[in-house]
């Protein structure tokens, strides 16, 4: 079954935005109406979609594929107005400023507003799939747990009611697909293992995609490596592939994405990845 | 002695910490007293640098007395900052406060500020000829340079004034709910008293303002005098980050002194003929040659656009994770 919400995270530098864009391109090709969202920044995701930037207003990249970046203060106004039913005047005025101030200091407020925008797009039913370029794994916890944190800090009130509903949607595996992108290298793999550990405790079960896996280089046993560039390239390939094998042992069942040789632009990378089984 | 300061910046995952460590190892090996400050080294690299615990004071490497190493832990740095700038009672209340923990671990500039503050302490100690700072990963790139101002702004009460709607109040008449309908609405949305607890925290934080603001100006002065280098690979995402950095830095500090392209393939592969080798090896050379060509194009375009010093560091067969490998990493003129 196709999921209505796909959340993609990963350590910085592993290709999280490329995978997000690839998933979106693939869903679009399958005929789904897709919204792809950047939760922070969005320059990376934009480049993978051949755009220079993303706006808060969804932009139709190609028929049926829309892209947007969440702007926190706009999301906040919308959250107060649309989701909590605060009149527009108050939402734009002092209340929004108070919330904005709060979001810099109080745990989970910023995260609830951002996740709230994502989940609202899921709930309002305008899309077959909402695919999200989420914050890196170092921060994703505070987003996925935001609802729970709010529920602890805020004893009552409308934000709390929202938070409870958000928690349910994120934990529903029929509805939500969590993806953690990683590399077969020490730091990304360690961070992925830490992420898996706390996610399991929260009853969240992400898929692991290991990016940039080198193809096998079949060499007969005892084959002599020649001197010159062909031999040098073989030595480098084998050393890198051996190192990858060590780290792949930690996630034997993970989906492996290929190393893409010689691609120049982020858009080419996303297009090629979208051809791979994701 | 006055320390020369090198700030090592760049996207995550490009080998920033490795290059910073190699630069320090090689400078120390040349007989110059060197300190490298890292944020979150990988286990194997931490072992190579002789790091046993995170945080704390610089210590000399067991195998090279000229090489000093310090690691940063943003959480402990922040407790130290609170204790340095707030009076003891307020400081203890602050570090125990749930909002303090949240704000200092999650306020965008806070890890960068903690790193910049600690680095400044080391620079002020004037105990090293060279201080190499491995900057925390950040999405914004120049965040490390703007963090002191952002931090002074946070503790300076701007948020507090917004919350209370006017001049900074005394603790007793914090909120006048009857006079401020927005606050009544906020109470009904958030549950009562959450805003009040946040405001109390911000008032405690504000007592550190004079200290933090003065320190922020000193830190900024150090950062402006420092030399920064940008580490990247030829992959599109880190290059985009390097481009953002080159564009934005001149507004807040000196332009980067160099860009380091890490994990570079030999240009000799680009048009190489495989010779008499098996089809598998010939095919392997063809795909790596395509990669080498792409890398060379990316480097040439970057150099042409930013007219900066370009340092090419070759891709290693094994990640350099011991002292010998760090000493042997070809930095092509970056050290010394």
A190 contacts B42? CB cut-off 8 A: yes
Structure tokens that stand for A225 in this block: 């490596």
Q: What is the separation, in whole angstroms, between the first and last Cα of chain A?
A: 14
Q: If you compute the radius of gyration of chain A from its CA atoms, what whole number of angstroms results?
A: 21
The lowest-confidence range among A49-58, A72-81, A119-128, B204-213 is A72-81
- Whether residue A277 contacts residue A29, with contact meaning beta carbons closer than 8 Å, is answered with no
Q: Do B106 and A188 touch (CB under 8 A)?
A: no
Q: Does A45 touch chain B (CB under 8 A)?
A: no
Q: Nearest CA of chain B to the CA of A203: how many Å?
A: 24
d(CA B324, CA B93): 47
Chain B partners within 8 Å of A49 (Cβ): none
- Distances, alpha carbon B288 to alpha carbons A169, B13, B276, B291, in Å: 44, 21, 17, 5
Among chain A residues, the shortest Cα distance to B195 is held by A102
Judge contact between B16 and B10, C-beta under 8 A. yes
pLDDT of residue B200: 76
Chain B environment of A240 (Cβ under 8 Å):
317
CA distances from B315 to A41, A214, A269, B181, B191 (A): 30, 15, 21, 62, 56
Which chain A residue shows the shortest CA-CA distance from B237?
Answer: A44
Distance CA A156, CA A158 (A): 7
Q: B192: helix, coil or strand?
A: coil
- Per-window interface: B 50-79 vs A, CB < 8 A: none
C-alpha to C-alpha distance for B131 and B119, rounded to whole angstroms: 8
Q: What is the ipTM of this complex?
A: 0.86
pTM of the model: 0.87
pLDDT by 10s per residue, chain B, length 336:
788 999 999 888 899 989 999 999 999 999 999 999 987 777 778 888 888 776 678 999 999 999 999 988 777 777 888 888 888 998 998 888 877 877 776 666 677 888 888 889 899 999 999 999 998 876 556 778 888 887 787 777 666 666 655 555 555 445 555 556 666 666 666 665 666 777 777 778 888 888 888 888 999 998 888 999 999 999 888 898 899 889 988 888 888 999 999 999 999 999 999 988 999 999 999 999 999 999 999 999 999 999 899 999 999 988 888 899 999 999 988 876
Residue A11 touches partner B, C-beta closer than 8 Å: yes
**Confidence bin at A259 (pLDDT 50/70/90):** very high
Closest CB to B102 among A13, A86, A106: A106
Q: Using an 8 Å Cβ cutoff, are A210 and A40 in contact?
A: no
Question: Cβ distance A179 to A209 under 8 Å?
Answer: yes
- Provide the token pair at A108: 């989970």
Residues from chain B that touch A98, judged by Cβ atoms under 8 A, are 162-163, 182-183, 186, 195
Q: Is the separation of the CB atoms in A22 and A13 below 8 Å?
A: no
Residue-level pLDDT at B139: 52
Residue range A9-26, pLDDT digits in tens: 998 889 999 999 999 999
């Amino acid at each position: 079954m196709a999921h209505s919400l796909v959340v993609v995270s990963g350590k910085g530098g592993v290709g999280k935005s490329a995978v997000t864009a690839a998933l979106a391109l693939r869903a679009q090709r399958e005929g789904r109406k897709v919204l792809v969202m950047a939760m922070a920044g969005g320059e990376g995701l934009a480049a993978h979609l051949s755009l220079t930037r993303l706006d808060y207003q969804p932009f139709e990249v190609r028929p049926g594929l829309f892209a947007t970046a969440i702007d926190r203060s706009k999301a906040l106004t919308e959250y107060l107005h649309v989701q909590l039913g605060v009149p527009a005047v108050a939402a734009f005025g002092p209340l929004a400023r108070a919330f904005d101030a709060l979001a810099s200091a109080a745990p989970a407020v910023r995260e609830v507003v951002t996740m709230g925008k994502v989940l609202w797009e899921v709930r309002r039913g305008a899309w077959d799939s909402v695919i999200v370029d989420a914050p890196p794994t170092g921060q994703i916890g505070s987003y996925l747990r935001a609802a729970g944190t709010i529920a602890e800090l805020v004893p009552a009130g409308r934000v709390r009611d929202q938070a409870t509903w958000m928690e349910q949607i994120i934990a529903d595996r029929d509805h939500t697909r969590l993806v953690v992108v990683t590399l077969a290298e020490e730091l990304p793999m360690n961070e992925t293992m830490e992420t898996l550990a706390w996610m399991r405790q929260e009853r969240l079960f992400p898929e692991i995609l290991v990016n940039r896996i080198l193809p096998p280089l079949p060499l007969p046993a005892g084959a002599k490596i020649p001197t010159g560039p062909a031999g040098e390239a073989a030595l480098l390939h084998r050393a890198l592939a051996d190192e990858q094998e060590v780290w792949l042992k930690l996630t034997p069942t993970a989906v492996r994405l290929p190393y893409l040789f010689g691609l120049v632009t982020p858009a080419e990378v996303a297009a090629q990845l979208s051809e791979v089984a994701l | 002695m006055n320390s020369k300061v090198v700030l090592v910046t760049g996207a995550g995952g490009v080998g920033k910490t490795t290059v910073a460590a190699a630069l320090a190892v090689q400078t120390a090996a040349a007989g110059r007293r060197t300190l490298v400050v890292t944020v979150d080294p990988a286990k194997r690299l931490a072992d190579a640098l002789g790091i046993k615990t995170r945080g704390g004071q610089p210590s000399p490497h067991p195998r090279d007395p000229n090489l000093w190493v310090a690691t940063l832990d943003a959480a402990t740095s922040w407790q130290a900052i609170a204790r340095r700038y707030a009076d003891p009672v307020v400081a203890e209340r602050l570090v125990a406060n749930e909002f303090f923990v949240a704000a200092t671990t999650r306020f965008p500039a806070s890890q960068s500020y903690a790193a910049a503050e600690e680095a400044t302490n080391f620079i002020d100690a004037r105990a090293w000829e060279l201080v190499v700072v491995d900057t925390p990963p950040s999405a914004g790139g120049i965040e490390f340079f703007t963090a002191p101002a952002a931090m002074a702004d946070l503790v300076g009460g701007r948020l507090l004034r917004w919350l209370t709607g006017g001049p900074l109040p005394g603790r007793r008449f914090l909120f006048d709910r009857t006079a401020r309908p927005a606050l009544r609405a906020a109470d009904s949305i958030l549950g009562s008293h959450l805003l009040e607890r946040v405001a109390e925290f911000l008032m405690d934080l504000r007592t550190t303002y004079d200290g933090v603001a003065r320190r922020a100006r000193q830190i900024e002065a150090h950062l402006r005098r420092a030399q920064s280098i940008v580490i990247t690979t030829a992959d599109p995402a880190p290059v985009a980050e390097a481009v953002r950095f080159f564009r934005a830095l001149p507004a807040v500090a000196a332009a980067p002194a160099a860009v380091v392209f890490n994990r570079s393939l030999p240009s000799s592969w680009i048009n190489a003929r495989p010779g008499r080798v098996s089809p598998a090896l010939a095919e392997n050379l063809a795909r790596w040659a395509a990669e080498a060509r792409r890398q060379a194009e990316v480097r040439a375009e970057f150099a042409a656009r930013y007219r900066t010093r370009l340092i090419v560091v070759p891709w290693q067969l094994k990640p350099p994770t011991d002292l010998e490998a760090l000493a042997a990493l070809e930095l092509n003129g970056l050290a010394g």
